[in-house]
A and B are shown apart, each in its own frame.
Chain A
Amino acid sequence: MKRIKRVFVANRGEIALRIVTACQEQGLETVVGASEVDMHGLAARRADRAVCIGPAPAAQSYLRDDLVVQAALGTRCDAIHPGYGFLSESPKLASRAREHGITFVGPPAEVIELSGDKLRAREEAVRAGVPVLPGREVASAADARAVADEIGYPLLVKAAGGGGGRGIKLVRDSDELEGLLSLARSEAGAAFGDERLYLERFIAAARHVEVQIAADERGHVVHLGERDCSVQRRYQKLIEEAPAPALEPGARDVIRDAAVRFAEAIGYRNLGTVEFVVDSETGEAYFLEINCRIQVEHPVTEAVTGRDLVALQLRIADGRALDFTQDDVTLDGHAVECRLNAEDVARGFMPSPGTLSLFCVPDLAGLRVDTHCYPGALIPPYYDSLMAKLIAHAADRDAALDVLIEALEDLDVEGVETNRTLLISVLGHDDFRRGAVTTDWLARAIV
């Protein structure tokens, strides 16, 4: 039996702080590996120790699996928590940690590798009886024309090495096919070192619904309900909620079961998220991909299930069995999260780094705020612009949305531009209040 005592946190910002806090509540020591510019951040200060792993640019610090493992070894950590982004889905970090006897808080390297290969993951989904969109790998332009005729236009060209919205091109008609295919191939080769492409049917009116799953080391898999993350811009999620609103009665169980079946089929371990695209006209759900990490939006699931997902990750990584069954998972009320970003919406969502002269979040019933911000904190220009996640939990969706609006209106923030006004207008928008919107809604609504 493993026994994790000291956790190396290989991340920054709010999630590093979230992990440090979860570890402390579990009685675990923490070491935060920070870049030079983050050494005075909240996570580094709250941890038992912070080590400077490199200069500010992520390529020289947060993306260096060699430095992370070396730092974890040098500080005698027995586990590495990668958070989200950066190295969280790096098979190399997972295998390197394992080689040095350090527990990686996440699935094994082989599972991460399979999940990162979107074509293989798709094949596994088919094998597990999980519905996927019509389509398949295309080797040549002629091949692509044949597949395109089968599935019809518009369609998507996707890179096997992509995922999370990267490496996707929309092809509207047959005239565009060849040009976009060769462009996609060269971009995929450059970006992912993998030129394989596949075509998939495009669903115009789509919702993004994802199922949170947890699997222990013995292979017991449970789901913790689903989330809707359809309010997004350029595949960047802005507002997420649980449970997903406006799903057909049977559809909810179908995707939850499909997610568990898929996780079982690929030998998944620890926490993961199985993403589906739901056709909002037919209600049909299709597998998209599985994410091998804690998600940014995990707090909405925590709110409605009453479970600490980071603690659960640590428990599973420690080799302990799930201490609850599927029947024990009950969902209470409705939770909504919005992401407060340091960006200038009026100037094309340009990042707005700077030092916060003021930052104060209101204390409201049902409101949780995950943030690394404080008055005087620096929002550095090197990383993503997420400042805070505001999560409201209430008896129903409308009440939760109202808490978020009140929180955003009462929020004091000065020193950087934020997307606060945009969030307020979305949370109060008639379309959004009526229920689930589609993934293209935000782009249309803000123009």
Chain B
Amino acid sequence: MPLSDDDVREILRIIDESDLSELRIDTDGFSLHVVKGDGGALASPPPPRQSHETKPESEPEPAPDSPGSTDGLTTIPAPMLGTFYRAEAPGKPPFVEVGSRVEPDTIVCIIEVMKMMNSVPAGVAGTVAEVIAENAHLVEYGEPLFRVEPETA
């Protein structure tokens, strides 16, 4: 049962608009497992909570565009708002280029917030396929910075 990208998008849209929190489809040659959580897609608001408690502090969760896209590439989202730098200093070579191999702890860029330099690790093993963000420009929280072709296990 061949599925196009559009089909997958359509399925995700239907799930998004539904009240389901989890869906598993297993058919011949095709299996899909989707869990709708409050950390992921911004398109659907998080479910109402009963208490006013804020969420426990946690690592920045993957934001808007981060879930793996349909072409098999993974996005590295900005873990914070700030100025995006591809290199340690002006004139230095960039941390990564298209084609660079990265491990989860490979530093891929720096995000500056008020003179504080924050190193951003790739968080994934694979090969850099695209540099999306522009050097020395503002990136927002969750904005896609790079696309990576993940290593197949």
Contacts and interface: CB of A to CB of B under 8 A. Distances in A.
Nearest to A75: B138
Interface stretch (A20-28, A317-325, A347-355): A347-355
Interface string B24-60: 0000000000000000001001101101111101001
A78 B3 CA distance: 50
7 contacts: A36-B42, A52-B140, A54-B141, A66-B113, A71-B81, A350-B51, A378-B46
B54 A382 contact: yes
Interface in B99-153: 112-114, 116, 137-138, 140-143
Contacts of B52: 350-351, 353, 381, 385
Contact of B81 (A53, A351, A416): A53
Contacts of A61: 141
B15 interface: no
State which size class the interface on B falls in: 20 to 34
Contacts of B83: 70, 74
Contacts of B54: 56-59, 381-382
A37 B45 contact: yes
B48 to A, nearest CB: 4
A300 interface: no
Interface in A29-59: 36-37, 39-40, 51-59
Interface residues of A, number: 35
B81 A36 contact: no
A355 B140 contact: no
Contacts of A51: 81, 138, 140
Contacts of A60: 57, 60
A152 interface: no
- Determine the main DSSP class of B at the interface with A: loop
Interface in A58-108: 58-61, 66-67, 69-71, 73-75, 96
A294 B50 CA distance: 31
Contacts of A70: 81-83, 112-114, 138
Given A57-B54, A69-B114, A70-B114, A381 B49 contact: yes
A67 B42 contact: no
A353 to B, nearest CB: 5
A54 B45 contact: no
Contacts of A96: 114
A55 B42 contact: no
A56 to B, nearest CB: 7
Interface in A367-403: 378, 380-382, 385
B113 A36 contact: no
Contacts of A56: 46, 54-55
A47 B39 CA distance: 25
A66 B49 CA distance: 29
B80 interface: yes
Given A354-B48, A380-B46, 18 more contacts: A36-B63, A36-B64, A37-B46, A52-B64, A52-B143, A53-B81, A59-B57, A61-B141, A66-B114, A67-B80, A67-B81, A67-B113, A70-B82, A70-B113, A74-B82, A351-B52, A381-B48, A416-B48
B10 interface: no
Nearest to A416: B48
Contacts of A55: 60-61, 63, 141
B113 A52 contact: no
B63 A52 contact: yes
Contacts of A73: 138
Contacts of A378: 45-46
A128 B60 CA distance: 49
Nearest to A71: B81
Nearest to B137: A74
A16 B57 CA distance: 25
Contacts of B60: 54-55, 60
Contacts of A350: 51-52
What 4 A-B pairs come out closest when comparing CB atoms?
A74-B138, A354-B48, A378-B45, A66-B114
Contact of B42 (A39, A53, A351): A39
A426 B53 CA distance: 29
Contacts of A380: 45-46
Contacts of A381: 48-49, 51-54
B141 A36 contact: yes
Contacts of B46: 37, 56, 378, 380
A52 B81 CA distance: 7
A355 B141 contact: no
A71 B55 CA distance: 24
A418 to B, nearest CB: 14
A61 B141 CA distance: 10
A381 to B, nearest CB: 4
Q: Among B49, B82, B140, find the residue whose CB has the most chain A CB atoms closer than 10 A.
A: B140
A138 B54 CA distance: 36
Nearest to B80: A54
A382 B38 CA distance: 13
Nearest to A353: B48
B45 to A, nearest CB: 4
Contacts of B61: 55
A354 B53 CA distance: 14
